[in-house]
Structure 1
């Protein structure tokens, strides 16, 4: 029988992000710059990735400790072979009510129906510009917006809920704030503006490149009438608003300008099986090695619980441009968003 969260952990653990692969089919200015992640970059061999059996076993222990939401990430998770088979297994975990996936959308025309049949509820699609030339320059492969739009349409037809994630960087794609908001409003898509963060140690982050929620909101107000929406649950990261003439929502992830460390309920499992209690951790804890050395489920549960209970993460509260330079953090391709 599953216990109440408060009976299991002093600090709530509600949301688990699982990175299933460290590769991506598009480069990203924010986490996979081409000067670092070129054709000779040593990505993980298959033996270092968690198997589906291992992911299911670990996820089960997290659910018994209070997790209700699981999101599959990468890299690009749809590069992991037979991903729908893993989703079929995860949706069977009693207590999980939301299974989602973060993707760049390009493979959704091929896989959206299978994902929906497997039990996936939602896709978070990364799209940082509506301009073909700009988007092509940002992804480093000259891929335009059309393949992502086709992925969005495929997800809609399959019956998947959709959220669009846009990371905004000053001087790069801040001119796309209104075009993106207009596109999402017209197509009834929930949009999340994400402040440009110092994820990993290779994206050359500087505070001067950050467009804050306040600045983005000011632009939106000049074009749309917005009203605030209350959070759906404790620990919800996005600060949400609704267009007054529509049911469409727009939200902000404000890790830089308005940190939310004290209400964080999210753990992350990397592509190579390390547990991280913060997106900005320097070091993780190897669950993969722990279970491959023969730990039983009771020991695994205690291992996870002990790590979570002892977490002291406050990176976003303490961030400065200097600390961002000094601290070496796990790369986004390993840990996902």
Structure 2
């Protein structure tokens, strides 16, 4: 069976799977206030279809899988899917969640075989959380983070999308969180893939790092994971901090991933328009879809704040 190596020599061994297009938040940079029109149930991949796609992918070189959404925990019985995927021999099985529902599910997810979790959190201020997400769920998210740590879903990673004039005044608060707790804080550049993409809110990783370095000396660090973050540690800190520079210092030359949308399409690139339909296919046709996806994988993304009509919002891709 042919392995997943694209035309630029990149080895594709990481699959991000959006298991639902639904979400219980309405983050301003991710989707409009009214949300997006959800796909019909018949259009969404079943768990059995997802397992079949992953099995074929493993034969072709997929070693790592991340479950995303929307918000993956709004889909019923996600533990069943985690259990089945965990039994396939993957090197790493992880999830990205907003943690609103995590406090009651962290332990069962761990028992089902989930290795670790990334949690999206852009502010530690309750009023600001309500403004960014249009929901008053910050206490639930903080409880979810504690539950993830208690369940040993480690490393627990916290993803903060930094927005100038919105939450950039909290950078040191998040750094302090990584000093006190065994968390991996990642500062992510704001991207034009959502409801209110505004160039004025963009702040580069270089600027973010410089602001933090005014108070703390940063030492290079290594941490487990599949992502492109550049990690650092502060002397005496329990956790680490990382920077993901999707726009200012893109990491496309080392991209090792494909994305599978909830409505059964491979996306070779986060910001690309190309999509390969895969629902209802036989194993041989799934293999062909994988190969077509890597054939269409571009050398680099074309994210640009001047473009506002992307095919999908971030909530429909899974990040």
Question: Shorter-chain TM-score category?
Answer: over 0.9
Q: Deviations over 1:180-222 (max 9, x none)?
A: 11123211210010000012xx423233221110111011112
1:92 alignment partner in structure 2 = 87
Partner of 1:24, secondary structure, is: coil
Q: 1:203 aligns with which of 172, 195, 208?
A: 195
Name structure 1 gaps, 5 residues minimum. none
1:303 alignment partner in structure 2 = 289
Q: 1:229 aligns with which of 221, 236, 248?
A: 221
Alpha-carbon distance in 1 for matches of 2:278, 2:172: 43
Tell me, yes or no, if structure 1 residue 43 matches structure 2 residue 57. Answer: no
Tell me, yes or no, if structure 1 residue 328 matches structure 2 residue 310. Answer: yes
Deviation at 1:48, TM superposition (A): 1.0
Name structure 2 gaps, 5 residues minimum. none
2:242 alignment partner in structure 1 = 251
Contact kept in structure 2, 1:231 and 1:239, CA below 8 Å: no
Q: Give me the TM-score of the superposition, normalised by structure 2.
A: 0.93
Q: Against the structure 1 CA distance between its residues 221 and 68, is the aligned structure 2 distance closer, same or farther, given a 3 Å change threshold?
A: same
Alpha-carbon distance in 2 for matches of 1:16, 1:208: 32
Alpha-carbon distance in 1 for matches of 2:232, 2:100: 28
Q: Against the structure 1 CA distance between its residues 167 and 287, is the aligned structure 2 distance closer, same or farther, given a 3 Å change threshold?
A: same
Contact kept in structure 2, 1:277 and 1:313, CA below 8 Å: no
Alpha-carbon distance in 2 for matches of 1:282, 1:300: 20
Q: Deviations over 1:223-246 (max 9, x none)?
A: 22211235879x841111111223
Q: Against the structure 1 CA distance between its residues 302 and 168, is the aligned structure 2 distance closer, same or farther, given a 3 Å change threshold?
A: same
Partner of 1:308, secondary structure, is: helix
Alpha-carbon distance in 2 for matches of 1:195, 1:150: 26
Q: Give me the TM-score of the superposition, normalised by structure 1.
A: 0.88
User: Alignment RMSD, CA only?
Assistant: 2.3
Q: Against the structure 1 CA distance between its residues 31 and 57, is the aligned structure 2 distance closer, same or farther, given a 3 Å change threshold?
A: same
Contact kept in structure 2, 1:127 and 1:164, CA below 8 Å: yes
Deviation at 1:176, TM superposition (A): 1.2
Alpha-carbon distance in 2 for matches of 1:68, 1:214: 32
Structure 1 stretches of 4+ moved >4 Å: 2-7, 230-233
Contact kept in structure 2, 1:71 and 1:99, CA below 8 Å: yes
Deviation at 1:298, TM superposition (A): 2.3
Contact kept in structure 2, 1:60 and 1:93, CA below 8 Å: yes
Contact kept in structure 2, 1:70 and 1:100, CA below 8 Å: yes
2:149 alignment partner in structure 1 = 156
Structure with more helix by fraction? 1
Alpha-carbon distance in 1 for matches of 2:227, 2:99: 24
Count of residues paired in the alignment = 318
